[in-house]
Amino acid sequence: MWEIKIGSGGGKMEKDEIISRPEEMDSRQLNEFIRNMIHRIIVHHVLWFREVQHQRGFDQAMEIMDKAWDKTWDISLRRFASMGLPVSNHMPKIIDDLPNEKKLAIIDGLAKNWLAQDGVFFQEVEKLYGMNDAKRCNDSTWNYFSLVEAREIKKLLGLPKHPGLEGLEKALNFRLYGRLNVQSCRWEEGALIFEMNRCRVQHARKAKGLPDYPCKSAGLVEYGRFAEGIDDRIKTTCIACPPDQHPEEWSCAWKFTI
């Protein structure tokens, strides 16, 4: 029989204890097992997507992931119900019953967790391989994630294939960054101008007396691919983005045209 060693202090290796099966774990060890399994499921989901993308291309991978995720969510809800966790409106009832302000707080919390995860990944690569490799990984990630986010938002809002600049203006408010930063849009001679008025990352650096993080290489990928994902006719132009000089009222600005 295979045996595993798990610290009895809720992940703190205070003393080693031979565990042969989950039923022998204490409450804190079971908590850690649950956390570990959730992580494995997320990684497995990502690896499936990347392999389908490798075999069949990005668009096909997105279509398959959409169908697989909808079916997986339905299966999960049925599993919750079988464990005595009520379901309502395609969501665990404990969430469905919350007032809207609480749901918005969850959305904001998820956005903050996403940004924290993004920053931690960047820092870990930077520690091992340096800033250049971290930026390369970051920019490549945005190349795909911006398209995924655009597609998910189009589905969420029911936008048509070509929603135009008006559709892009709406979609920008539903990005994960849209819940973290202060941003604004204005119209100028038929073009949509987007300004990042308070960037959470740059604001934190400024408070520490640090210069702007030079994010232009990532921004060109991020905004260009997101706009393309909303409507493939849209062209993106960078007005300014660090390390470019910019006014006090915004840290980066982008122009979208058709």
CATH number of 99-257: 3.30.1380
For the stretch 48-76, pLDDT in tens is: 999 999 999 999 999 999 999 999 999 99
Average pLDDT on 12-27 reads: 74
pLDDT at 2: 43
pLDDT at 51: 96
Tokens of residue 174, six digits: 């539903």
| More confidently predicted of 1 and 107 | 107
> Ramachandran region of residue 11, left (φ > 0), alpha (ψ -120 to 50) or beta?
left
Tokens of residue 123, six digits: 């820092």
Residues 6+ apart with CB under 8 A from 27: none
Give pTM, 2 decimals.
0.85
pLDDT at 236: 98
Chain mean position to CA 162:
24
Confidence label for 41 from pLDDT (cuts 50, 70 and 90): very high
